[in-house]
Chain A
Amino acid sequence: NAGVMQNPRHLVRRRGQEARLRCSPMKGHSHVYWYRQLPEEGLKFMVYLQKENIIDESGMPKERFSAEFPKEGPSILRIQQVVRGDSAAYFCASSPLDRGSYGYTFGSGTRLTVV
Chain B
Amino acid sequence: AQSVSQHNHHVILSEAASLELGCNYSYGGTVNLFWYVQYPGQHLQLLLKYFSGDPLVKGIKGFEAEFIKSKFSFNLRKPSVQWSDTAEYFCAVNPSLYGGSQGNLIFGKGTKLSVKP
Q: Taking beta carbons and an 8 Å cutoff, which residues of A are in contact with B?
A: 3-4, 33, 35, 40-45, 48, 55-56, 59, 91, 93, 97-101, 103-109
Contact = CB atoms under 8 A, between A and B. Distances in A.
Contacts of B107: 35, 42-44
A31 to B, nearest CB: 9
Interface string B80-114: 00000000001010100101111111111110000
Contacts of A48: 103-104
A14 to B, nearest CB: 25
A111 B55 CA distance: 36
Interface string B43-54: 111100101000
The interface centre, meaning the residue of A33, A42, A100 with most chain B CB atoms within 10 A of its CB, is A42
Interface string B14-57: 00000000000000000010101000001111100101000000
Contact of B104 (A41, A56, A103, A109): A56
Contact of B51 (A42, A91, A101, A107): A101
A97 B109 CA distance: 26
A42 B25 CA distance: 14
Contact of A45 (B100, B105, B108): B105
Contacts of B43: 3-4, 91, 106-109
